[in-house]
Structure 1
Amino acid sequence: MKLLLAILVTTLIVIAAFFILFSPEEESRRIVEAEMAGARFVYARAYARDETTGAGGLADRLAFVASFPAFTPLTAKQRAAGAPAVMLTVTPKDDSLDPAERPGKLYARFLTADALAGPGGLVKRHFEQGSPYDFEELYIAPPDGRIFFARCPKAHSGAASEACLSVFRDGAFDVELRFPPVFLENWDALYDGARGLLTRMTKAAARKKR
């Protein structure tokens, strides 16, 4: 009888350990390693926005999602509640045009002459009707948007996505950010946080390699 009880207790412990080790929360904390364009990334799986990023290994694109302004992984509760977050897509840099040049070399010819005060000290510019960006507005950091720019849908435009889009270059990578327009008020924290997150991921890889 005692032997049977001992076996039963041991079995229950093993089953409980299995569910703890392989629960969604535990899985989200698993550390993933990836390599892209000769650089190594180490990050918690909870940052991954798709299965490819969650699996790690060789990649030509990494997609992350993070809280704002902390840039920590979203908790299960935050995900379930649809908490506002920053989506980051990291790719090898495109040599055709530095993202910092987009406001002056790509968007300028489609802009109207007016310039308005925007959130967080940004300048708000309108695109011409009939242009490829007709349903969006451009926000730039003075004087020319090289430090920061974002395209955001016009209010009540009927645009499919309500997220703003911004892109910046960080070393060998181009980083695309998608975020709610309300984050524009703290655009500097948005950029600093995104750069800091990538630095932590690559520094963690360097420490692991040693």
Structure 2
Amino acid sequence: MAITDIQAAAHPKQRRPRRKKRPRGLLWLPIAIFTAGVIGAVFWVTYLLWPRWPAADMALDAPALPVTVNGVTFNIPPAAIRNKVQRKPGRQERVDLVFLWPSLTPPDPAGKTGPSAMPGTIDRVFLTVAAYGNSLPPLERFNTIYQRYLASSIETTPAGLTLRPFQDGSPYQGEDILYNDRNPARFMVRCTRDARGGATGQCLLERRIEEVDITVRFPRPWLSDWTAVGDGVDRLIAQLAGSRR
């Protein structure tokens, strides 16, 4: 009898250890995850690059659109919205508008404009409607921030507004604050000065409605009739905001 046969007879229960088989499912799991990721990426890129029909442009003579900015709803004529991408109803971060002055109507879609009834060459007033963010109300900003940078000189314009220039070297260098001394909250603007090259100075008038700031921009020469400007701006905002004004 061979030696191996004798050893096998002496130890009948001994067997060679068997290798443990790895579950086949674990081998396929990483491959399946990788394949799914590749397929998903292909579908996403295909979706982004797939040609689409452009959305139909909003007609400029369409009825006013209900646009909500920071929870406040405004009714805005499409022709008054300056940026094409903003000509849609619903929620928006901000809206940039333009109206003819002094009619307070949107510009003619055909581009026709009438003569301006105000001094200066510009017959349009520009508005930006946006969430106020962290900015202070206009009068509080005047009392707490602007005061730090104002020069000591104080003048009175022929139209009766108080004029205070900003100091040279300040963040507002080259600008002036003009306001109704009896009621600054009623009318207060920050204006650039006319440039030597002939560029007309521009003024910013701000109004706050609930959670929204409305910034109005117009030429500085209009301040010769600032009462009409203030009344017109309030009338225009009331027209946009409805019963809130």
TM-score bracket for the superposition, by shorter chain length: 0.7 to 0.9
Which ranges in structure 2 are unaligned for 5 or more consecutive residues? 1-55
1:90 alignment partner, SS class: strand
Contact 2:200 2:220 (8 Å CA) reproduced: no
d(CA) in 2 for partners of 1:55, 1:149: 32
Amino acid at match of 1:124: L
CA spacing shift, 1:144–1:127, aligned 2, 3 Å:
farther
How far has the Cα of 1:192 moved from its partner? Answer: 2.7
d(CA) in 2 for partners of 1:141, 1:123: 6
* 4+ runs deviating over 6 angstroms: 158-161
CA spacing shift, 1:105–1:171, aligned 2, 3 Å:
same
Question: 2:112 maps to what in 1?
Answer: 77
Tell me which of 69, 94, 112 is aligned to 1:61.
94
Question: 2:29 maps to what in 1?
Answer: none
* Larger RCO (CA under 8 A, 6+ residues apart): 1
d(CA) in 2 for partners of 1:102, 1:62: 23
2:208 alignment partner, SS class: strand
How far has the Cα of 1:87 moved from its partner? Answer: 0.5
How far has the Cα of 1:34 moved from its partner? Answer: 1.5
1:64 alignment partner, SS class: strand
Contact 2:69 2:129 (8 Å CA) reproduced: no
CA spacing shift, 1:183–1:170, aligned 2, 3 Å:
farther
CA spacing shift, 1:136–1:130, aligned 2, 3 Å:
same
Bigger Rg over Cα: 2
Amino acid at match of 1:77: K
Query: CA-atom RMSD, angstroms?
Result: 3.0
Which deviations, in whole Å up to 9, do the C-alpha atoms of 1:73-119 show, x marking residues without a partner? 1222129x984211011123345411122222111111111111125
CA spacing shift, 1:120–1:27, aligned 2, 3 Å:
farther
How far has the Cα of 1:160 moved from its partner? Answer: 8.3
Query: Percent identity at matched positions?
Result: 28
How far has the Cα of 1:123 moved from its partner? Answer: 0.9
CA spacing shift, 1:47–1:119, aligned 2, 3 Å:
farther
Which ranges in structure 1 are unaligned for 5 or more consecutive residues? 1-21, 205-210
Could you state the TM-score of these two structures normalised by the residue count of structure 1?
0.73
Could you state the TM-score of these two structures normalised by the residue count of structure 2?
0.63
Contact 1:100 1:168 (8 Å CA) reproduced: no
How many residues align? The count is 180
Which structure has more strand as a fraction of its residues?
A: 1
